[in-house]
Structure 1
Amino acid sequence: MASTSTLSTAWFYSKLLLLGLLLVSYSSKEDEDDTVRGKQLMSRACDEIYVVGEGETLHTISDKCGDPFIVEQNPHIHDPDDVFPGLVIMITPFSNSRNNIII
């Protein structure tokens, strides 16, 4: 029969291996979630009221939504570099027909 010391050591290493496997599987799942979250972030629609997502800047939102005048339309944005997730902004998509002047 195996000694108590050998069984204790085997038990310890089996638990350590199980913990390592759990951590690796959790880490892989987290990476997959970030990929999916990033795709959803890039594909979400630009509504008139827009909530800034993680990793977004005014420049990326402007390009995505077609609104080059975000700062001018949102007087609560004092510093264009100080944009954070959860910030609510107004979006007015730019249209060439809006700027055509008929004389």
Structure 2
Amino acid sequence: MLGLEIARARRRRRWTLQELADRVGISVSTLRAVEQGTPTVAIGIVFELATLLGVRLYDAEPSELPALVALGRDRLALLPARVRETTVDVDDDF
């Protein structure tokens, strides 16, 4: 869905694939992959394209983002700071 929104925003601005790819510093084939939703494209490139085109990454108003970040940090604080490998051997021989 994010790739479709990026394609729609690009077309609304009447930018060609080459124009947008040049602005972001990627190849046209990478931009095509983003617009088609290919999962192998680096998420940073997708976010950069979305930001450049004004595509919202979150379903929240920009003024709500600080509160959502604080909530996420509070939730993360409830979990263990480190995850250790379990030392119990699992008997999975049925």
Q: Which TM-score band (shorter chain)?
A: under 0.3
Greater helix share, 1 or 2?
A: 2
Greater strand share, 1 or 2?
A: 1
Q: What TM-score results when the alignment is normalised by the length of structure 1?
A: 0.24
Q: What TM-score results when the alignment is normalised by the length of structure 2?
A: 0.26
